[in-house]
Amino acid sequence: MTDERVKKTAGLGARLALIVICLLVSGSPIEAQTDSMYRSFDSFDPSEDDFSESAPPAAPGPASGRLDLPEADAFVSPPPPYDQTPYDQTPYDQAAPAGPPASGSLDLPERNEARPPASGGLDLPDPGAYDYPAATDEYQPPAPAADYSPPPPVYESPAPPVSGAYAPLAPSAPPAPAWSYAAGAGDYSQGDNWLMRPDSPDRSVDVFYLYPGACARAGQGGALCGPGDPGMRQKARELASFQAGVFETVGNLYAPYYSQANSVVFLGLSPQDRLSRLSASVSDSVAAFDYYLKNHNGGRPYILAAHGQGTATLLAGILSHYLKNINPAARGRMVAAYALGYSVNSDFLNDNDHLRFAERRDDVGVIISYNTEAPRQGGASPALLPQSVAINPINWSRSQRPARANQSRGANLSIFGGESMVRDFADARVNLGRGVVECSTVSGDQYLSDHFPGWAYPAGDYAFYYYDLRQNAQDRAEAFMQSRPALAGTGQSVEE
């Protein structure tokens, strides 16, 4: 008898037992039900069975509403949970059969079969290999950590509060200073800390000047140069002798040595990050200006002049802080502030309503500012801020009305190795959209800067319009004296 017939017969026996149970429960006459059962059993003919050894049985489908479960022996226990990666069951001394496993199939090992660790798996040791400590009910606190005393934080000297777009941002982490002040540095009662200071001032107007970026340490590190830095001092003397020379026929020149940010780093920063590096510069310049007013000025009118990083320091320290919060009375003696080579923008002017931007050739108590570029520049400039304003250094107009080169009083190209007086060299036109002065008549790579991208002429701010600036400083000084005759030649201040 085949396996199928055995199963069939077993099934009939199970049904017979079920009928007997039902009869007993229902209370029906056992004889009648038994007779019917035997007649059903006698009518069974194995020859009429659909199953035969010659044809395989059809795959049974699950009956409607019934779960067709597999035989118990068909189950294979899953592998231990710590490693579910399938692996090749081929004995280790035989080669694995070629070809990928059947799609979707998982070839699992027998339950008791030895399992090699899967590639990349964790081969856990026998738990009995561990030597566990004896259990105890008493709490054992951990040993205290060794004493640790963190070093005290070191910050740069704080800058006075500034407002608007020129307000320095605090750095994300307090930087350690890159220098320490030398003995006497920052003490402006010491003559050695003055780049320019006349022994016997003989003019009725003073000029207080801050030099541009003179701290350049490419490849040497260090974010700052202190006022006593020898390399910065040497470069500052070269720059000051050229730029401050614009004003030497107008007033008595005063120029302090002051701390500066490293220009190589400074120009590569965003405008706000750049200004956050000026805390030491602002502190030194404010200290020097305060000392100058109290000990050297004698009540005379003064001109402020600067360029580049010196202008950024002038704007953030002296103009927007000192003359607003510390000594506002000193504003009455300011002839003008020549803040060239760094932007003055509308945000700065709105935040500092005690200051005004120049509108014409001879207004006083005002700021004069511009950055010089070629018309084809158009790209980003480290000296240029959004909404910058500018004035034409030839015709002294804030409109876009151009000034021809033959209208200029002349350029001084000695800083480029050229002549100290060159006529008909540079024209000028204000680009209102960028807030710069455009010069279209200058050509030659020698006038460009290694630290500025594109066609910017930072050194040309003074050089291209050298004698225009000298004449304008004279015109504004004379206009100031006419408007405040009590100051002319008396050395006395006037409260406004």
Q: What span, in angstroms and rounded, lies between the C-alpha atoms of 173 and 155?
A: 9
For residue 411, what pLDDT band results from cuts at 50, 70 and 90?
very high
User: Is the model more confident about 117 or about 214?
Assistant: 214
Mean pLDDT over all residues of the chain?
74
Q: Is residue 430 within 8 Å of residue 398, measured between CB atoms?
A: yes
What is the mean pLDDT of the segment spanning 106-127? 47
Q: What percent of the chain has pLDDT over 90?
A: 49
Where is mean pLDDT largest: 16-20, 65-69, 492-496? 16-20
User: Is the model more confident about 196 or about 155?
Assistant: 196
| Whole-number pLDDT of residue 383 | 80
For residue 476, what pLDDT band results from cuts at 50, 70 and 90?
very high
Q: Which of 23-27, 53-57, 158-162 has the lowest mean pLDDT?
A: 158-162
Alpha helix stretches (DSSP H) within 314-417: 346-351
- Inform me whether the pLDDT recorded for 47 exceeds 90: no
Phi, psi of 451 (to 5 degrees): -100, -5
Rounded to 5°, the CA angle 393-215-186 comes to: 100
- Inform me whether the pLDDT recorded for 92 exceeds 50: no
| Whole-number pLDDT of residue 18 | 62
| Sign of the CA dihedral running 141, 146, 149, 151 | negative
| Whole-number pLDDT of residue 273 | 81
What is the mean pLDDT of the segment spanning 297-322? 96
- Inform me whether the pLDDT recorded for 490 exceeds 90: no
For residue 221, what pLDDT band results from cuts at 50, 70 and 90?
low
For residue 452, what pLDDT band results from cuts at 50, 70 and 90?
confident
| Whole-number pLDDT of residue 267 | 77
For residue 485, what pLDDT band results from cuts at 50, 70 and 90?
confident
- Inform me whether the pLDDT recorded for 120 exceeds 50: no
Give the DSSP H or E segment for 208: strand 206-210
| Whole-number pLDDT of residue 41 | 42
- Inform me whether the pLDDT recorded for 302 exceeds 90: yes
| Whole-number pLDDT of residue 491 | 43
For residue 451, what pLDDT band results from cuts at 50, 70 and 90?
confident
Output Rg (C-alpha) for the chain, integer angstroms.
47
Strands 252-256 and 344-345: unpaired
Q: Is residue 377 within 8 Å of residue 455, measured between CB atoms?
A: yes
User: Is the model more confident about 39 or about 373?
Assistant: 373
How many residues are recorded in the chain?
Answer: 496
Helix axes 3-26, 30-42, angle to 10 degrees: 160
User: Is the model more confident about 169 or about 49?
Assistant: 49
What is the mean pLDDT of the segment spanning 230-246? 96
For residue 88, what pLDDT band results from cuts at 50, 70 and 90?
very low
Strands 429-431 and 436-438: antiparallel
- Inform me whether the pLDDT recorded for 117 exceeds 90: no
What is the mean pLDDT of the segment spanning 356-384? 90
pLDDT tens string 196-214: 999 999 999 999 999 999 9
Strands 302-307 and 252-256: unpaired
Q: What span, in angstroms and rounded, lies between the C-alpha atoms of 305 and 470?
A: 12
| Whole-number pLDDT of residue 224 | 86
DSSP string covering 159-206: PPP--GGGPPPPPSS-PPPS--PPTTTT-TTSGGGEEE--SS--SSSE
- CA-based nearest residue to 434, from 376, 367, 382, 385: 385
Q: Which of 168-177, 257-266, 414-423, 441-450 has the lowest mean pLDDT?
A: 168-177
